[in-house]
Amino acid sequence: MGNEQAKVGLCGEYKDGKLVRAVYYCAECHQPIYNHEKAGMVARGHWEPTAISQNPYYRSRRLSAFVSPFVSWTEVLRKYNQSLGDPEQERSFANLFLGIAYRESGERPKMQSVISLRSDYQEGVVQPGMSYICGGIDVQRGSEIDPTTGNPRDPDNPPRLEAEFCAFGRGYRSASVIYLRFEGPIDNAWEGAWKKLAEWAVHGGRDGGPGTTFYRADGRPFYVDQILIDSGDGMFTSVVYEFCRLSAGGTNPSKGFQFVKDDRKRAERGDPAGPQFFRKWKPVRLDSGQILYTISTNFYKTALYNNLRVQSTLENPNPPGLCRFPFSYSDEYFAMLTGEEKRSDGSFHPIRRRVESLDCRCLCMASSDIFLDRVVMDYRMQAQRAGASPETIQSIDGAFVIGRLEEQAGIVAVGQRGAVK
């Protein structure tokens, strides 16, 4: 609570390791104030505002147990000592004794370390060792529209779509290909930001070709295999469904939950946080026949944050899990990517207003898993029709599919020229 050396704030006197008495030391003169002097001190005190209310008729005051005539300073310090190390007790102490909202500190990758993952390649170029591409699109309603001007009240927060396309390879390695932003109304699947996205997909690529076709430095083309579009908070869900219905195969709406339980009956209305029996993703067939993918956001954010901590070294320049980014990506992109903290209960909480690149990257990762699982099932069905044994069918997994994709992408085996582990 206080600083024992400087004798500031609430400090304890201990005997045989047990708290005997708490004394409050003045921050100005460093003289002790004892609990029996508290009543007179409080009576001579006055309210001093620390903030100016936006509404002149509103008043807000906060009073801690430090000035309570019913709770001694010794009891306050004892409760504080008992709460240390236990998030629930720390929260209770902050609320009940200090009269403040409790904010648990969380974990996240250091932004400067993540920025160092920028590599010397341009946006739109597929990196060596990557064997397929998936995408994720986040829908942002933006700030309210000013009816007099027709523009967003906050010009920095217009209605928009933000999208990332990411290449994936063996060992959970990834390399972002491009990050895009399409501004405009999002309430009509045929107009505004959706129209810009559709036009980019058809004509926005290299030499006027499809935007969803990317190229490696040697000219080898890569097509986007799976795209997930966040269906949002409900306001524009039907628009997302309509756009996905109009789009090419492999474009599906998605809905994020902290955890997705392995219970088909509860998929569409969401699940409470908890790791028991969860799945990374789960398909739900809508009444229209479309497939909605429910996504375990906690799983993908945790996996991403783990991978963002992986760094290249001279001994191992391409370790498993390594994430790479084009050199042109802004600091704001990385601030959004690391804009949430993971708390002790496994939940994630934003520490800044904008986290769109984090959401897009998690959708890319979920798209990758969905694509791989779909191809695994295709290969297993082919093997079954060919009369393969059950053991052979079961041996077809993600690693098998990655190997086939590497063959198609011209990635040679380890030990050969140009090899990628």
What sign has the CA pseudo-torsion 182, 183, 188, 190? Answer: negative
For 6-34, letters b (16+ CB in 10 Å) and e give ebeebbbeeeeeeeeebbbbeeeeeeeee
Per-residue pLDDT, 45: 82
Q: What is the pLDDT of residues 101-121, one digit of tens each?
A: 655 556 899 998 999 999 999
Please say whether the structural domain 111-371 has been given the CATH code 3.30.420. yes
Phi, psi of 244 (to 5 degrees): -65, -35
* Whether the Cβ atoms of residue 170 and residue 265 lie closer than 8 Å to each other: no
Q: What is the pLDDT of residues 294-330, one digit of tens each?
A: 999 999 999 999 999 999 988 899 999 999 999 999 9
Q: What is the DSSP letter of 145?
A: B
* Whether the Cβ atoms of residue 357 and residue 331 lie closer than 8 Å to each other: no
- In this prediction, residue 411 has a pLDDT band, given cuts at 50, 70 and 90, of confident
Among 417, 335, 339, 411, smallest CA distance to 168 is for: 411
- In this prediction, residue 83 has a pLDDT band, given cuts at 50, 70 and 90, of confident
Question: Does the pTM of the predicted model rise above 0.85?
Answer: no
Q: What is the pLDDT of residues 341-366, one digit of tens each?
A: 998 778 899 999 899 999 999 999 99
- Distance in Å from the first CA to the final CA of the chain: 52
- In this prediction, residue 415 has a pLDDT band, given cuts at 50, 70 and 90, of very low
Mean pLDDT of 132-156: 84
Mean pLDDT of 123-135: 96
By residue count, the chain amounts to 421
How far is Cα 193 from Cα 198, in angstroms, rounded to an integer?
Answer: 9
DSSP labels, 38-91: HHHHHHT-----SS--SSTT-------GGG-TTS-HHHHHHHHHHHTT-HHHHH
What residue spans define the domains of the chain?
9-46+60-96, 111-371
How far is Cα 1 from Cα 73, in angstroms, rounded to an integer?
Answer: 11
* Whether the Cβ atoms of residue 174 and residue 122 lie closer than 8 Å to each other: no
Phi, psi of 9 (to 5 degrees): 80, -160
Q: Indicate the SS3 state at residue 107.
A: strand
Q: In whole angstroms, how far apart are CA 337 and each of 4, 114, 176, 198, 330?
A: 40, 9, 12, 25, 11
Q: Give ∠ CA 327-329-333 in degrees, rounded to 5.
A: 150
* Whether the Cβ atoms of residue 226 and residue 366 lie closer than 8 Å to each other: no
- Does the pLDDT value for residue 176 go beyond 60? yes
- In this prediction, residue 183 has a pLDDT band, given cuts at 50, 70 and 90, of very high
